[in-house]
């Protein structure tokens, strides 16, 4: 039966065989899947793996710096890229979820293509980047296929479905037969930082699909602050590791409140925490009332622009984990 040690051994050997002296380029997200895939590739081909980490301005608070540091500590050959203004510019005025996903996916490919060209330029003459590494796992593939029925696409996962023709890179996806828990076991075998392995899944489009409606820098800031308080409290209370995925959603409504003698008319955030095995189905988590009360107070008292916090008590199906 399946063991992570055997998987690592065979996969590294297969990757060596498949890739030889070829160079591989790969975009990392800071999540479990792309990190474990990169470490596997790194074991197989070392410095011939060129990693890129893009700050699209839709990451969580301080995430860019923290993730980049941990990648450097792992010895990965990684380059950070600031592209926040490009993403905000392209997204301005767009509210429809699939449109936002397409814009984010498109901008991502532009940034990535640019970075790939630079990596290429730095290689000795005659050498070529031939492969694109991806952290695709098995559920990504089935979700993408199963939703392409007669009822059309439910959500487009931008990390599945290949690349625009101009990129002419072959794709290498060492984790595409694995489920999330297996990926975590492989990561543990490879000695990946437990902080990265224990991270909740986070969608590629990031906070871009957790801000319902159009995206502005101010909304991103408010959501980052609120989410930081939520996640920190989950960690401090021991709930983070008992939850499969948690996040904060910025709602496209304002609500009336009072502060001192003043009437306020400000934003609302929803907190989401779900239990799941693979993201295909999910149940909402019954967080303790006193923990929810503490989080709500902290958010409302510390995050300027929010005067109301609600908790999402919907399961998937018929709801989804994300709101967009
Ligand atoms: P849903 O909302 O469909 O989410 O129940 C299932 C899992 O997929 C993640 N998700 C995405 N991941 N690009 C991604 O890379 C996306 O566009 C996307 N949409 C949802 C979601 O966070 C959850 O883990």
DSSP codes of every residue in 63-86:
HHHHHHHHHHHTT--EEEEE-HHH
Which residue has its alpha carbon closest to ligand 1 atom 9? 203
pTM: 0.89
Tell me the per-residue pLDDT of 130-164, one tens digit each, with 9 for 90 and over: 999 999 999 888 877 654 443 444 455 545 445 55
Segment 76-81 shows an average pLDDT of 95
Segment 193-206 shows an average pLDDT of 92
Cα dihedral angle (205, 211, 212, 217), rounded to 10 degrees? -110
Give 210-311's CATH code, choosing from 3.40.50.720, 3.40.50.300, 3.40.640.10, 3.30.300.10. 3.30.300.10
Cβ 97 under 6 angstroms from ligand 1 = no
**Homologous superfamily of 4-197 in CATH?**
HUPs (3.40.50.620)
Let me know the angle formed at the C-alpha of 103 by 183 and 149, rounded to the nearest 5 degrees: 65
Paired strand residues for 234: none
Predicted pLDDT at 126 = 84
**Residue 89 annotated as lining a ligand binding site:** no
279 conformational bin, left if phi > 0, alpha if psi -120 to 50, beta if neither: left
Predicted pLDDT at 142 = 80
191 conformational bin, left if phi > 0, alpha if psi -120 to 50, beta if neither: left
Q: Break the chain into its structural domains and give their ranges.
A: 4-197, 210-311
CA distance 263 to 240: 35
Which residue has its alpha carbon closest to ligand 1 atom 7? 279
């Amino acid at each position: 039966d399946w063991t992570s040690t055997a998987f690592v051994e065979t996969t590294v050997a297969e990757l060596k065989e498949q890739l030889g002296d070829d160079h591989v380029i790969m975009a990392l997200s800071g999540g479990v899947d792309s990190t474990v895939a990169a470490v596997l590739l790194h074991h197989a081909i070392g410095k011939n793996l060129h990693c890129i980490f893009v700050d699209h301005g839709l990451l969580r608070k301080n995430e860019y710096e923290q993730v980049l540091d941990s990648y450097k500590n792992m010895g990965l050959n990684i380059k950070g890229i600031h592209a926040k203004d490009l993403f905000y510019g392209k997204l301005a005025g767009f509210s429809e979820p699939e449109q936002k996903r397409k814009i984010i996916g498109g901008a991502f490919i532009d940034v990535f293509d640019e970075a790939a060209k630079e990596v290429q330029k730095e290689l000795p003459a005659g050498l070529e980047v031939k492969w694109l590494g991806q952290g695709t796992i098995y559920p990504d593939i089935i979700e993408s296929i199963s939703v392409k029925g007669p009822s059309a696409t439910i959500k487009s996962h931008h990390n599945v479905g290949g690349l625009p023709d101009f990129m002419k890179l072959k794709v290498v996806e060492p984790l595409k037969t694995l489920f999330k828990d297996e990926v975590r076991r492989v990561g543990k075998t490879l000695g990946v930082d437990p902080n990265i392995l224990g991270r909740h899944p986070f969608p590629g489009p990031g906070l871009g699909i957790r801000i319902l409606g159009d995206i502005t820098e101010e909304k991103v800031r408010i959501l980052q602050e609120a989410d930081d308080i939520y996640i920190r409290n989950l960690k401090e209370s021991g709930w983070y590791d008992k939850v499969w995925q948690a996040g904060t959603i910025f709602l496209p409504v304002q609500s009336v409140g009072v502060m001192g003698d003043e009437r306020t008319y400000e934003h609302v955030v929803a907190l989401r925490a779900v239990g799941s095995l693979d993201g295909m189905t999910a149940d909402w988590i019954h967080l303790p009332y006193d923990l929810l009360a503490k989080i709500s107070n902290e958010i409302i008292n510390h995050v300027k622009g929010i005067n109301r916090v609600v908790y999402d008590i919907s399961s998937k199906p018929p709801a989804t984990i994300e709101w967009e």
